[in-house]
Structure 1
Amino acid sequence: MEAFSNYDLLDAVTHKKVAEGHKASFCLEDTTCDVGVRRRYACTAHTQGLGPGCYDTYDAHIDCQWIDITDVAPGNYILKVTVNPDFLVPESDFTNNAARCDITYTGTHATARNCKITSN
């Protein structure tokens, strides 16, 4: 899958996209689950998926886990993350596939706050 999730950095005032990234996917599995929830899917068992209460988590050092902000000026932004943007993975509910966070970028570091699940 070419884009399992999209990462868009938007100007806080105009909502114009100033930077973007995406995550490709080759396997979905339950790498972490809430307490009391049993893992159901594992790529090594050739059964892909994400169970309720489970997550497919990745460390930051894995390729494509960032947005290149080299040319982005310091200021206020919105980070929009959309999972399964093309609806290629069957789900029981597509309304919780996006989240937005307010971002303050100083030129040397970024701070996220007010993260919320959104419908788009």
Structure 2
Amino acid sequence: MDAFSNYDLLTASTGRKVAEGHKASFCLEDTSCDPGVRRRYACTAHTQGLSPGCYDTYHANIDCQWIDVTDVSPGDYILKVTVNPGFQVQESDFSNNVVRCDIRYTGSYVQAHNCRITGY
């Protein structure tokens, strides 16, 4: 799968895309789960998937887990994360696949707040 999720950095004022990234996927697994939820999928067992209440998490130093903001000016932005953008993974509900967060970028650090599921 070329991209399991897309990361778009949009200007807060116009919604214009100023930077982007994506998560390339080679295996989906239940890395961790909410309390009381059992892991069902593991790449080492050759079973792929994500169970409800579980997460496929990665360390920040793994390639394709970030957006390059080298040429982005400090300011207010929106981070739009779209999971399963090509609808290649079967789901019971696609309406919760887009999250938007308000971003303040100072040139030295990024602060995210007001994250919400938007559906678009």
Shorter-chain TM-score: which interval?
over 0.9
Q: Which residue of 1 aligns with 2:81?
A: 81
Are residue 95 (structure 1) and residue 95 (structure 2) matched? yes
* Structure-2-length-normalised TM-score: 0.98
Encode CA deviations 1:38-89: one digit per residue, 9 max, x unaligned: 0000111111000111110111111111000000001100000000000000
Report the counterpart of residue 38 of structure 2 in structure 1.
Answer: 38
Secondary structure in 2 aligned to 1:72? coil
For structure 1, the residue ranges without an aligned partner over 5 or more in a row are none
Q: Where in structure 1 do 4 or more consecutive aligned residues deviate above 4 Å?
A: none
What secondary structure is seen at the aligned counterpart in 2 of 1:18? strand
- Counterpart amino acid of residue 24 in structure 1: A
- Matched with 1:71 is 71
What is the percentage of aligned positions where both structures have the same residue? 77
Aligned residue for 1:15? 15
Q: CA RMSD in A?
A: 0.5
Q: How many residues align?
A: 120
For 1:61, the equivalent position in structure 2 comes to 61
**Structure 1 residue 107 displacement after superposition:** 1.0
Residue 100 (structure 2) pairs with residue 108 (structure 1): no
Kindly state the Cα deviation for residue 4 of structure 1 after the two structures are TM-superposed. Answer: 0.4
3-state SS in 1 of match to 2:77: strand
SS in 2 for 1:78: strand
Letter in 1 for 2:86: D
Q: Distance in 2 between matches of 1:59 and 1:105?
A: 22
The code of the aligned residue for 1:55 comes to: Y
Residue segments in structure 2 that go unaligned for 5+ positions in a row: none
Structural mapping, 1:1-12, within 5 Å: 1-12=1-12
Offset of residue 117 of structure 1: 1.1
> Quick one: distance in 1 between partners of 2:17 and 2:110?
17
CA distance in 2, matches of 1:108, 1:42: 37
Name 1:26's counterpart in structure 2.
26
